């Protein structure tokens, strides 16, 4: 990849995307141009990031150089989109903008960046350890080379799924909001262990190892979740007692509604 790429916003997800490409020499540091909003963020990149990339504060005149790059990765918070303006003098109409902004539609992106072809991407926090899930929806007139470039950005750290845009909000709810829900479940279960007398650190470790083992069992034996539940649920036993409490508290319904709510919130950003 000899092309120049601009990164607008340089948080944990953006770093997780670009760093593996630099590690593998798929892109050179001098071809990476980054813009951040604060002086603190700029200093952090220059002092602590392991590669000497081109970094600018958004308020500086030099930051306009990002619009000369062939590719832009948009990685700011959705509420900050209004603060970003495409350069007025773009002559090449074949530039590609890849957005990872939650809920921001392709239509809104193309209105905001009329001189770019736009791609909407949803990815999640496990991308930072190479275990991400990434959903991609293509805008109009995206070339095969541009599709391949976009996939290259994410394929080192994610499993990639291509969707029509209608599916991206529910994909976001499941995969991007889902980790917080799982963390809450881990915390609650470990507090249950704490209530039974286990030290907090041991209880939390047991819960996480149990979840990892359960997932491996399901995947390796190609079990359905119902089959797994039946394996450990015996008549009048401890497991059915626990499940009965969860059903009484409508935990199943609460989890379903949490995903629906997250998906609906994503749609509101459009």
What does the pLDDT look like over 137-193, one tens digit per residue?
A: 999 899 999 999 999 999 999 999 999 999 999 999 999 999 999 999 999 999 999
Judge whether 68 and 90 are in contact, CB under 8 Å: no
* Residue 75 pLDDT > 90: yes
**How many domains does the chain fold into?**
2
Residue 12 sits in the same domain as residue 59: yes
Residue 180 sits in the same domain as residue 130: no
**Residue from 85, 92, 146 nearest 112 by CA:** 85
Residue 14 sits in the same domain as residue 113: yes
Judge whether 135 and 155 are in contact, CB under 8 Å: no
Provide the residue range defining the domain that includes 115. Answer: 5-163
Residue 210 sits in the same domain as residue 263: yes
The domain boundary, picked from 163, 183, 210, lies at 163
**Residue from 53, 21, 18 nearest 34 by CA:** 53
How does pLDDT run across 206-226, given as a tens digit for each residue? Answer: 999 999 999 999 999 999 999
How does pLDDT run across 97-131, given as a tens digit for each residue? Answer: 999 998 899 999 999 998 899 999 999 999 999 99
Q: What CATH number did the domain enclosing 112 receive? A: 3.40.50.720
Residues 137, 140, 143, 144, CA torsion sign: positive
The domain boundary, picked from 130, 163, 196, lies at 163
The domain boundary, picked from 163, 197, 220, lies at 163
**Residue from 74, 15, 78, 2 nearest 50 by CA:** 15
| Residue-level pLDDT at 91 | 60
Enter the DSSP assignment of 80: G
Residues 136, 145, 13, 111, CA torsion sign: negative
């Amino acid at each position: 990849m000899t092309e120049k790429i601009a990164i607008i916003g340089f948080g944990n997800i953006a770093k997780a995307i670009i760093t593996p490409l630099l590690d593998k020499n798929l892109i050179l540091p001098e071809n990476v141009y980054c813009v951040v909003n604060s002086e603190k963020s700029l200093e952090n990149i220059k002092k602590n990031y392991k590669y000497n990339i081109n970094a600018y504060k958004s308020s500086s005149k030099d930051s306009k150089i990002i619009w000369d790059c062939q590719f832009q990765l948009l990685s700011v918070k959705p509420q900050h989109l209004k603060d970003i303006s495409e350069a007025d003098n773009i002559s090449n109409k074949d530039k590609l903008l890849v957005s990872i902004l939650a809920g921001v539609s392709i239509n809104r992106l193309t209105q905001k960046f009329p001189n770019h072809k736009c791609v909407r991407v949803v990815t999640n926090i496990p991308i930072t350890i190479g275990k991400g899930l990434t959903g991609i929806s293509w805008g109009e007139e995206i070339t095969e080379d541009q599709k391949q470039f976009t996939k290259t950005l994410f394929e080192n750290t994610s499993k990639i799924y291509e969707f029509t845009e209608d599916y991206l909000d529910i994909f976001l709810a499941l995969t991007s909001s889902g980790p917080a829900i799982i963390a809450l479940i881990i915390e609650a279960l470990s507090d249950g262990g704490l209530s039974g007398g286990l030290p907090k650190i041991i209880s939390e470790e047991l819960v996480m190892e149990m979840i990892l083992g359960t997932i491996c069992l399901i995947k390796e034996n190609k079990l359905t979740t119902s089959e797994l539940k039946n394996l450990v649920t015996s008549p009048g036993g401890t497991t059915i007692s626990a499940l009965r409490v969860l059903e009484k508290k409508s935990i199943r319904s609460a989890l379903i509604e949490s995903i629906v709510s997250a998906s609906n919130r994503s749609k509101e950003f459009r």
